[in-house]
Amino acid sequence: MTLDVLHPLVHSLSKAEKRYSRLELGKTTGETGFMYLFDCLLKHETPGEELTTALARRFPGATLEPARKHLYRMLMQALRQFEQDKRIDVRLGQLLHDSQLLHDRGLVQASQAVLTKVQRLALQYERSPYVVLAARQQIEQWVRAQFDGVDEPMLAAQHALIRQEADRSQTAWQHAALYETLLHRYRAFGVASQPADTLRLNDLLLEEYQLLNRQKQTSFAMRQQHLHFQSAYLRMIGDGAGSLRVYRELDGLFQENPTLWAEQPMYYVQLIDGILSDLRLLERFDEMHFYIDRLNGLVVSATGLSQVVRYQALVHSLLMHLDQGQLAEAQALVPDRSATAFLDFARELTQLPLLLRTTVQLALVRLAMRQGQLSAALHQLNQVLTLPMRSLPAGLATQSRLLYLLIQARLGNADHLVYALRSARRAMKSTGALARGEQFVLQLVQHWLDGKLSTKTLTQLDELANSPAQDQLLRDLDIRHWIRAFV
């Protein structure tokens, strides 16, 4: 594994993981070059010339490669051992291996007892694939023993268990596929702004209906995927109240079954994120504090997801305060640009998924605009605009282009704005018909160029409030504040 992977891997370790890894690495006798490599990677926060020079001095020629490979192998082994009692999937896999080892050494009864334990735990935690694996391993051991002590009903019962759990797994995977497809469409296209957009969702809605009718049994995973699908669909068609109602039901399901998701809280994080988005859409800001606290209080072992959770809580807090005009509270959440902490903040932003990173950056642009720091807002926005717009969801790409026009107007750059407006209109039309809110903002900028901006514009703005998608876009652009800056 290259240093490009090894360096972030080492820095992703928690304090407990570092301590455990150091103990495991210290058990190795002989050459300790990989220990120096481990310490050297920890010492340098970022890969660069200093790290390269230090490694070249300690590992001349080609001696770095074996140390790098050995360190990676030892680190992964230590992490597997560190996680073995914390993750049920790891535990089940190890028990299956234990059973095989016992059987190979003639301890048949002990091996069968372990397999029975695997099936019991797998059923308890709804891990159907492990039930199937344990049942198949048990049958193969019976075959090797020439079915000694096994009658036909016992064999038939195992075959029936395999079919049942395989069907359950297949249904859960199909349901997950439908939800993930719908979620991808939401991330890519946002809330449906036109009736044609809603019609495009009917294929997934029909498939989900047919899948529900074929279900013979229900499980936590199936109920969770169904409720996630329903909430995402309602949010896409702009029914925030309906989506929130389903999310509340889903929240109750999670609270009743904490052991089934605590190890892998990704879907729970999506649930809280969805609730916060709906509450913001409905302008129920007082209720958002409770769920932001739940996000902040969530204990996540995976470093990457932990960082995502922290910044999701941050961006919801920022947007909540910005929507209410609470600029001091919003500013208190972000390190001062002149402080060293802001450099760490900016570096962490680059490690976030693109959608979350861009959402945070656009919230910072809004904050700077509301504070009158237009140059800082433009500098932050340019970091988004330098990205390929195709890689951004359509809603964020549109918001970025429109914010650029609004900032240029606030700066008074009329000559440049003539060409920027033409370019933005052409780019936005290339992705499809413009929504009413997008057309309204483009017309606003054109009216500013023509000197025709007036207080009547606020009346036109109120007419767009009936559309959740357009209202959310105009709120994210702080259009009312922008208009009042001129009229």
Give the best-scoring range by mean pLDDT among 4-13, 359-368, 420-429, 470-479: 359-368
Give the residue-averaged pLDDT of 288-316.
87
Give the residue-averaged pLDDT of 139-164.
89
> pLDDT band at 85, cuts 50/70/90?
low
Q: Is pLDDT larger for residue 86 or for residue 248? A: 248
Whole-number Å distance between alpha carbons of 483 and 468? 20
Query: Is residue 99 a contact partner of residue 114, using CB atoms and an 8 Å limit?
Result: yes
Choose among 341, 314, 342, 318: nearest CA to 331.
Answer: 318
Give the residue-averaged pLDDT of 332-355.
81
Model confidence at 464: pLDDT above 70: no
Whole-number Å distance between alpha carbons of 375 and 475? 21
At 372, which amino acid appears?
G
Whole-number Å distance between alpha carbons of 250 and 238? 19
> pLDDT band at 359, cuts 50/70/90?
very high
pLDDT of residue 433: 67
How is residue 322 written in tokens? Answer: 């910005």
Q: Which string of b and e fits 295-330 if b means at least 16 CB within 10 Å?
A: beebebbebeebbbbebbbbbbbbbbbbbeeeeeeb
Model confidence at 130: pLDDT above 90: yes
Model confidence at 36: pLDDT above 80: no
Query: Is residue 131 a contact partner of residue 161, using CB atoms and an 8 Å limit?
Result: yes
Where are the domains positioned within the chain? 3-83, 85-148, 164-296
Which of 78-92, 247-261, 286-300 bottoms out in mean pLDDT, i.e. has the lowest? 78-92
Whole-number Å distance between alpha carbons of 407 and 301? 41
Q: Is pLDDT larger for residue 350 or for residue 323? A: 323
How is residue 436 written in tokens? Answer: 């009413």
| Count of positions (residues) in the chain | 487
Average pLDDT value for the chain: 85
Which of 142-156, 164-178, 419-433 bottoms out in mean pLDDT, i.e. has the lowest? 419-433
Which of 55-69, 321-335, 436-450 bottoms out in mean pLDDT, i.e. has the lowest? 55-69
Give the residue-averaged pLDDT of 456-460.
74
> pLDDT band at 304, cuts 50/70/90?
low
Q: Is pLDDT larger for residue 473 or for residue 243? A: 243
Under DSSP, the state recorded for 325 is: T
Contacts of 175 (CB under 8 A, 6+ apart): 208, 211, 221, 222, 225, 226, 229
- Residue appearing with tokens 């051992």: 81
Q: What is the pLDDT of residues 308-343, one digit of tens each?
A: 899 999 999 999 999 999 999 999 998 877 667 777
Q: pTM value?
A: 0.81
> pLDDT band at 55, cuts 50/70/90?
confident
Model confidence at 250: pLDDT above 90: yes
pLDDT of residue 466: 66
Query: Is residue 291 a contact partner of residue 272, using CB atoms and an 8 Å limit?
Result: yes
Which of 28-37, 120-129, 142-151, 435-444 bottoms out in mean pLDDT, i.e. has the lowest? 28-37
Q: Is pLDDT larger for residue 411 or for residue 79? A: 411
pLDDT of residue 374: 92
Query: Is residue 163 a contact partner of residue 217, using CB atoms and an 8 Å limit?
Result: no
Burial class (CB in 10 A: 0-12, 13-18, 19+), 417: buried
At 176, which amino acid appears?
A
- Is residue 468 classed as helix, strand or coil in its secondary structure? helix
How is residue 84 written in tokens? Answer: 């073995």
Model confidence at 30: pLDDT above 60: no
Whole-number Å distance between alpha carbons of 365 and 345? 15
Query: Is residue 274 a contact partner of residue 231, using CB atoms and an 8 Å limit?
Result: yes
> pLDDT band at 82, cuts 50/70/90?
confident
Whole-number Å distance between alpha carbons of 432 and 187? 17
Choose among 362, 363, 309: nearest CA to 331.
Answer: 363
